[in-house]
Structures are given as structure tokens and as C-alpha cells.
DNA sequence: GAAAAATTGTTAATTATTTAACAAAGAGTT
DNA sequence: AACTCTTTGTTAAATAATTAACAATTTTTC
């Protein structure tokens, strides 16, 4: 059960988000095909994911919404939660802090770092911005496990190195530049340009299919 | 050759970005293992992707950087380029426009839409914001093929419907709420919370592995 | 000029992920 | 009580993606 596929982890996070909305509406049970509809995937996929985490619904009644929320929480959350830092408080970094702030979750953005003197010491949506040189100290002091990189792409490798030196456990890199980290640090990268170009490619091929 | 794997498309976009940087530095040839190092994937993967697009390097010299850039362009770009619109000019939408603006590429953000009267008519980093009700008209008039959704999650389904009615060809949805679109429209969804929770999960399991 | 080293291109094998198939069982219906 | 419908849980099959293996060939070295 400890070896859940990466894709399953992603979907569990999404299921939970959908389930929380259902719970808020007072829905107590849900069928696999209902979850599937929301996520636009197949019901089999949903059942399989739920099987993998060892939960069992009731036949003809579906899954108990609250139980499933709790179980997903047991799997993807830590009891005490994890602390997160954002590095690079430009447009994207600021948007992230603002967005996450207020979402009740086990993950808290507790610090920000930048190298621009105008930003140091300021508080953005409740999160204080420190100078990048204070990183190691603050990460240790505040027990920060995850760093989100939103500096300009060119500075990403340097920042990633600093995060590694600061003993970060996981990195989420939003710049267009891939970074290298030691194996024991979990790295997730996402590049918006790539996504947009991917959409463009499939739009292009669809268009030429139809004509 | 028309049936390239989705993952290959994504990597081609990334290779090109890296190659452009190499070209700018005056590098004329590159080996598969060099590209692989940059993207932290295996050289085999690189060679396989390049094989799939039908390009051939020279033995012992590697790939011609400019030729490869051009070929990737032939595959993922359209000759005339495609126009893009952003719907929802809040923090994220604004960040996107600002970021893409100035990047020379075949994709141009040419319009923005919002329902907040304070934003209508304003120009954000060179892109004019229109009222959401004008969407169908502007999309047709400006020949916009791709819509990026950055409204609050709750409004995503409604916006996606409007985009579909406006005959959009592809949608990139950055809200946490999955949307449903007809089959012939290409949909790409990305949810930052999911990514962060995924990192958190693997950080958690690594931590408990080590202790 | 023969041997060694490096590098591509491609087929085959492996691994990961999704989908299909279907038995089992609860709930309603006649 | 038998029958039908629905829905879960799970195994098996199919599909997608990655990695390994290696022949072929060019360059360099001796
Ligand atoms: N804005 C977007 O929507 C968007 C979209 C796709 C990708 N990105 C990526 O996100 C990154 C940031 O984008 P942005 O639009 O927020 O840029 P930005 O220029 O607005 O912000 C960058 C911030 O990083 C800080 N910074 C620069 N160098 C630094 C360093 N060495 N150490 C610490 N801080 C440093 C700057 O002071 C600034 O505050 C870029 O790499 C870009 O690739 C952004
Ligand atoms: N900001 C981030 O870093 C971030 C991170 C993850 C996800 N997101 C997603 O991006 C979306 C936007 O985030 P944000 O931080 O930019 O929010 P925001 O509130 O700053 O911006 C939302 C914008 O959409 C406009 N809007 C609202 N309803 C609309 C409607 N019906 N039609 C047209 N326009 C409408 C608002 O006027 C506002 O300008 C959210 O759904 C969120 O899930 C944002």
C-alpha cells in the first residue's frame, strides 16, 4: 500500500478537494461514477484508486464521503502539517502566497525569500519576506520542508542549490529551467510554457485533421 | 509520425527552450547526453524522441542545434502562430500575461476577459481586458484558438462553457476545478494545489523511510 | 592502418498506467 | 422467492512510456 502510483496520489488530492465540496453540501455518500464525472475520468479508475488505498465502500450506497476524506488525509497529509517557503516574490510568487493563504490545509506557506531590497522585511498576504541569505537559518528555525521556486529561470539552479544546502526535503520548481537535486530530495517541476505549447500542438493537429 | 506521444510533445517543447539557449551561446552541435543532462532525463529518451520526429544527427558530432530547433518548430508551431486569451485577470492571470509578454514565440496573448468593471477597458502589459460578454465576438474577430482559465475555481465551468460556445479550439485550465468540454476541444488542466500536495506526500514518505 | 572510444538509431524488454471484464452481493420488484 | 438492476472490488488484458541492449559507424589514438 506504500507504493501508490504517482498518478494515484495526484488523483487522491483531487478527489479530496471534490469530496470536501460534496461534504459541505451535506452529501454523505457518493458513487464512483459521480466522482468520475467530476474529475472526468472513468469510474473504474476511481474504484481502482480507492482499492489501492484499502478503502471499501458499501455496495449500492457507494463511499462514505467523510470517511474517504479522512482516509485520504491519513495518506497524503502529515499529522502536524508541513511548512512551505516561496523563493522569489514576483508576480507568480506573490500570486501563490495570496492564493494559498486562507485555504485551510495541512500545508502552510510560512516564509518568503527574495534578493530585492525593496521586498525584504515586507509582509505579503501574511507571509514575511526574508533576504535569500537568511534562507538556511529560517528554514531550520521554522522547520520548513518544501520550497517553491518562482525566481527568474536563470536563477533557478542557484536557488535550488541553496535550498538543498538548507536541507529542504522537497522542491516545486515553476521556472522554465530544470534544476538538479540529489536523489533523496523530491523534485516536481512544472513549466507553463510547455503546457501552452502542448495545447497549441494538439489544437494544430486537430485543426488539420478536420480540414 | 503524426502520432507522437504526449510526453514527447512536452519534452520537445523543453528541448527547444534549452536549444535556444545553446544557440544563443554560439553552440552549433549538441549530444543526446548533453540535452539529457539539462533536462535530467536519460540520453536514450532524448534519442528516442528525436528519432520519433524523424531527425538524424551526425555520428560523433551530435545534433545540429539550429536544425533541431527548426524541426521542432515545424512540428509544434503553426506557421502563422496562434492567438491566446486569458480569462480572469486576477493575480495569476496578470502574472501570466506579464510573463508571456515579451517572450518571442508563435503564441501571443492578444486579449483578456474579466467581469469586474474596474478591469474592463484597461490594458495589462499590453493586453486589453474586455468584458466577458464580449468574448464570443472578440474570439472570432481576433481569431483566438486557445483560452487560459484563471478565474476563481467556482466560475471555471461557466467560463469553460462560454469558451466552448465561442468556438475555442483548446483550453488550459489553471483552476482547481475540472471542467467538461466536448471531445474535439483539447483540454489541459493543471492544479497547483495537487502538485504541492504531491510533493508533500513524497516528502512525508521519504522522511518516514529515513527514520 | 588496426584498435579503441564515442555516439547515433532502433528493436526488444521492462515498467507504469489505464481500461475491460466480470463475479459477488445488496436492494428493489413482481 | 425468483428476477432484475446496480454497484463494488479485483483480476486480467491492453495501452503507453521508459529503459536496456546492441549493431553500425565515425573519429581518435597508437
Ligand atoms: N508569472 C507567470 O505567470 C509565470 C508563468 C510561467 C512561468 N513563470 C516562471 O516563474 C518565474 C517567476 O516569474 P514572475 O513573473 O513571478 O517573475 P518576476 O520577475 O515578477 O519575479 C521574480 C522575483 O524573483 C526575485 N529574484 C530574482 N533573482 C533572485 C535571486 N537570485 N534570489 C532571490 N530572488 C530573486 C526578484 O526580485 C522578483 O521578485 C519565472 O522563472 C518564470 O519562468 C511565471
Ligand atoms: N494565484 C495563484 O498562484 C494560483 C495558484 C493556484 C491556482 N490558482 C487558480 O487560479 C485561479 C485564479 O487565481 P487568482 O489568485 O488569480 O484569483 P483572483 O481572485 O486574483 O483573480 C480572479 C479574477 O477572475 C475574475 N472573475 C471572477 N469571476 C469571473 C467571471 N465569472 N467571469 C470573468 N471573470 C471573473 C475576477 O474579477 C478576478 O479578476 C483560481 O481559480 C485558482 O484556483 C491560482
Query: Residue with CA nearest C16 C1'?
Result: A5
Position B116 scores a pLDDT of 97
Tell me if chain A has a CB within 8 Å of the CB of B190: yes
Q: Degrees (nearest 5) of the Cα angle A200, A40, A48? A: 125
Query: In the predicted model, what is the mean pLDDT of chain A?
Result: 94
A124: CB within 7 A of chain D nucleic strand: no
Q: Quick count: other Cβ atoms within 10 Å of Cβ A70?
A: 14
Rounded to an integer, what distance in angstroms lies between the CA atom of residue B18 and that of residue B13?
9
Q: Measure A23 CA to D4 C1' (Å).
A: 32
Residues contacting B8, CB < 8 A, separation 6+: B49, B52, B53
Confidence of residue B210 (pLDDT cuts 50, 70, 90): very low
What does the pLDDT look like over A36-52, one tens digit per residue?
Answer: 999 999 999 999 999 99
Does the CB atom of residue B116 touch ligand 2 within 6 A?
yes
What does the pLDDT look like over A50-89, one tens digit per residue?
Answer: 999 999 999 889 999 999 999 999 999 999 999 999 999 9
| Start and end residues for every CATH 1.10.10.10 domain found in chain B | 6-75
Assess whether pLDDT exceeds 50 at residue B48: yes
- The residue nearest atom 28 of ligand 2, judged by CA position, is B151
* B124 SS3 class: strand
Does the CB atom of residue B185 touch ligand 2 within 6 A?
no
Q: Measure B90 CA to D15 C1' (Å).
A: 40
Phi, psi of A120, deg, nearest 5: -60, 135
| Start and end residues for every CATH 3.40.50.720 domain found in chain B | 82-194
Assess whether pLDDT exceeds 60 at residue A15: yes
Position B102 scores a pLDDT of 76
Q: Quick count: other Cβ atoms within 10 Å of Cβ A181?
A: 18
What does the pLDDT look like over B141-199, one tens digit per residue?
Answer: 999 999 999 999 999 999 999 999 999 999 999 999 999 999 899 999 999 999 999 99
- Which CATH code is given to the segment(s) A6-75? 1.10.10.10
Does the CB atom of residue A172 touch ligand 1 within 6 A?
no
B149 contacts B172 by C-beta, under 8 angstroms: yes
Q: How far is A93 from chain B (nearest CA, A)?
A: 9
Q: Where are the beta strands (DSSP E) in B99-210?
A: 107-114, 123-124, 127-131, 144-149, 170-173, 186-189
Of all residues in chain B, the one with the smallest CA distance to A189 is B195
Single out the residue of A51, A58, A78, A63 nearest to residue A19, CA to CA. Answer: A63
Query: In the predicted model, what is the mean pLDDT of chain B?
Result: 94
Architecture of domain B82-194 in this structure = 3-Layer(aba) Sandwich (3.40)
Q: How far is A86 from chain B (nearest CA, A)?
A: 12
Residues of A in contact with B75 (CB under 8 A): 201
Confidence of residue B104 (pLDDT cuts 50, 70, 90): confident
Residues contacting A120, CB < 8 A, separation 6+: A114, A129, A130, A131
Position B207 scores a pLDDT of 67
Size of interface A-B (CB pairs under 8 A): 173
Q: Tell if the CB–CB gap between B196 and A145 is shorter than 8 Å.
A: no
Kindly state the helix (H) or strand (E) to which residue A147 belongs, with its residue range: strand A144-149
Residue A86's Cβ-side half-sphere holds a number of Cα atoms within 13 Å equal to 30
A187 contacts A171 by C-beta, under 8 angstroms: yes
Tell me if chain A has a CB within 8 Å of the CB of B70: no
Nearest ligand for residue B89 CA: 2
pTM above threshold 0.75: yes
What does the pLDDT look like over A126-135, one tens digit per residue?
Answer: 999 999 999 9
Amino acid at each position: 500500500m506504500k507504493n501508490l502510483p504517482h498518478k494515484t496520489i495526484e488523483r487522491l488530492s483531487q478527489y479530496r478537494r471534490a469530496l470536501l465540496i460534496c461534504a459541505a453540501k451535506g452529501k454523505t455518500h457518493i458513487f464512483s461514477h459521480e466522482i468520475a464525472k467530476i474529475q472526468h475520468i472513468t469510474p473504474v479508475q476511481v474504484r481502482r484508486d480507492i482499492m489501492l488505498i484499502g478503502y471499501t465502500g458499501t455496495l449500492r450506497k457507494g463511499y462514505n464521503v467523510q470517511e474517504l476524506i479522512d482516509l485520504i488525509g491519513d495518506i497524503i497529509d502529515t499529522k502536524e502539517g508541513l511548512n512551505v517557503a516561496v523563493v522569489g516574490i514576483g508576480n507568480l510568487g506573490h500570486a501563490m502566497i495570496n492564493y494559498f493563504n486562507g485555504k485551510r490545509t495541512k500545508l502552510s506557506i510560512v516564509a518568503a525569500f527574495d534578493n530585492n531590497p525593496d521586498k525584504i522585511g515586507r509582509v505579503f498576504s501574511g507571509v514575511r519576506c526574508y533576504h535569500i541569505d537568511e534562507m538556511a537559518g529560517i528554514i531550520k528555525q521554522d522547520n520548513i520542508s518544501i520550497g517553491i521556486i518562482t525566481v527568474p529561470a536563470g536563477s533557478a539552479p542557484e536557488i535550488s542549490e541553496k535550498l538543498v544546502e538548507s536541507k529542504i526535503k522537497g522542491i516545486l520548481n515553476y521556472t522554465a529551467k530544470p534544476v538538479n537535486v540529489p536523489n533523496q530530495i523530491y523534485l516536481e517541476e512544472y513549466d507553463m510554457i510547455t503546457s501552452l505549447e502542448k495545447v497549441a500542438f494538439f489544437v494544430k493537429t486537430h485543426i488539420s485533421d478536420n480540414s
